[in-house]
């Protein structure tokens, strides 16, 4: 069963924060996927990310545990990737995106995966996403079978999605959240993943939102 989104009327305190990172080449649609998931909007011609951007959404997982999904989106431009280590700090899942109409973006998936496994915490959950699947078959440069084959070979979850039509966008992020939650329950990943990678206990008067702000400053300022 997929995690449920918190309704605007339910102002619940956040019990945990999962940090996700969106990675992949320039202009594969990472920012559009995030906007569709967090704001239920699609904006064609959205400018490419410069540096790092952040967005979030609150969902409830399992036994109605309010969970904030804090999603960081880093530009695919090589000049900004020197800060990759701090970008991956505390990440529980990576959304690895390529454009099904641009072959080179799929060819680079392997190098993005290598970087993520080297710099992110152990047992990172990776969802491989072939974006723009709404386009006509003759516009495709990468088949569904190729994407699925790469994912199976490397032990990843695979989906095709469309930020434009909202096809599978919810499923991408909810599936990642569900897998991370299960890994925590099974003790497969560090308990700090419940709090965006934070290992130190909170001060008595400190909220998760306040602590998460410090991690944002450390990672992205």
Tell me: the pLDDT tens digits for 12-24?
567 889 999 999 9
Cβ pair 127, 135 in contact under 8 A: no
Give yes or no for a contact between 117 and 85, defined as CB atoms under 8 angstroms apart. Answer: no
Contacts of residue 192, defined as CB under 8 A and 6 or more positions apart, other chains included, come to 90, 198, 199
Burial of 15 (0-12, 13-18, 19+ CB in 10 A): middle
User: Over the stretch 178-193, which tens digit does the pLDDT of each residue have?
Assistant: 999 999 999 999 888 8
Residue 170, H or E segment: helix 169-186
The whole-angstrom separation of Cα 136 and Cα 87 is 35
Residue-wise pLDDT tens digits, 87-138: 898 999 999 999 999 999 999 999 999 999 999 999 999 999 999 999 999 9
The pTM for the full model equals: 0.83
**Cα 73 from Cα 198, distance rounded (Å):** 19
Tell me the CATH architecture of domain 4-220: 3-Layer(aba) Sandwich (3.40)
């Amino acid at each position: 069963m997929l995690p449920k989104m918190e309704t605007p009327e339910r102002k619940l305190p956040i019990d945990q924060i999962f940090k996700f990172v969106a990675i992949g080449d320039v202009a594969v649609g990472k920012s559009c996927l995030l906007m569709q998931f967090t704001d239920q909007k699609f904006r064609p011609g959205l400018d490419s990310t410069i540096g790092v951007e952040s967005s979030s959404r609150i969902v409830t997982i399992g036994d109605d545990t309010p969970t904030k999904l804090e999603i960081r989106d880093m530009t695919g431009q090589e000049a900004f990737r020197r800060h990759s280590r701090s970008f991956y700090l505390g990440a529980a899942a990576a959304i690895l995106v390529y454009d099904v109409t641009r072959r080179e973006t799929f060819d680079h998936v392997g190098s993005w995966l290598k970087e993520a496994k080297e710099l992110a915490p152990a047992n990172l959950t990776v969802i491989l996403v072939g974006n723009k699947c709404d386009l006509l078959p003759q516009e495709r440069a990468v088949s569904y079978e190729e994407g699925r084959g790469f994912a199976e070979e490397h032990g990843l979850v695979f989906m095709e999605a469309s930020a434009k039509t909202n096809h599978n966008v919810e499923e991408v992020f909810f599936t990642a959240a569900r897998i991370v939650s299960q890994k925590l329950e099974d003790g497969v990943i560090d308990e700090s993943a419940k709090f965006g990678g934070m290992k130190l206990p909170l001060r008595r008067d400190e909220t998760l939102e306040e602590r998460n702000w410090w991690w944002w400053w450390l990672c992205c300022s």
